[in-house]
Structures are given as structure tokens and as C-alpha cells.
Amino acid sequence: MSTEFAMILAGVICFWGMLLLYSYQILKNLSGSLVDQFKKKYAKTIVAICLVYLIIIIGVLYEDLGELVPAISFYGLTLTGTGFLSVMLWLKQK
């Protein structure tokens, strides 16, 4: 990644757009809305595990990331949401 703001912004927009489309496709296969998915009994545990993992990774890499901490954190949060939806779809199909 480049430390240039325009390059970071372009990367975030492309990556986020792709993950939004992927998440939309997963949600179409799940019954109910995103809010309904969070109401399931193990949903909070799945999100907590993903967020703890993200925090550990950011904590380990923080010094080396420099100005890219916000961009990497944004990527991580988006991946956490997509990972949550993927696990919910897997549990439904299991």
C-alpha cells in the first residue's frame, strides 16, 4: 500500500465495495435481515471472537503500520462483518 491519501482512499473504496457486494450475496441466502442475524444465540460470540482477533493483530502490527492504521482498521472491520455473515451462512447450511 502507498502512504498517499488518494491511493489509500481508492483501495478502501474498491475493497469495501467488493465486500459489500459479497455480503449482499450472503444476506440473500440467509433468512431475515442483518439485525435478525445478530439476535441469534451465538452471533455475539462470533463477532466478539473476530473483533478480539482484529485488536490483537492491530496491536502487534501497530508500530509498523504508521499512517496506515486507520485504513488497516477499516479493512479489518469490514472483514469482520463479512466473516460474521459467512459463519452465519455456514451455520445455516450445516
What's the pLDDT tens digit per position in 25-50? 888 888 877 788 888 878 888 888 88
Helices (H), 30-68: 34-38, 43-65
- The more confident residue out of 86 and 41 is 86
| Distance separating alpha carbons of residues 76 and 58, to the nearest angstrom | 9
Number of structural domains (the chain) is 1
Whether the per-residue pLDDT at 1 is higher than 70: the answer is: no
Q: Would you state the pLDDT for residue 58?
A: 87
pLDDT tens digits, 44-72 = 888 888 889 888 988 888 888 887 888 78
Structural domain boundaries enclosing 86: 5-93
Helices (H), the chain: 5-29, 34-38, 43-65, 69-93
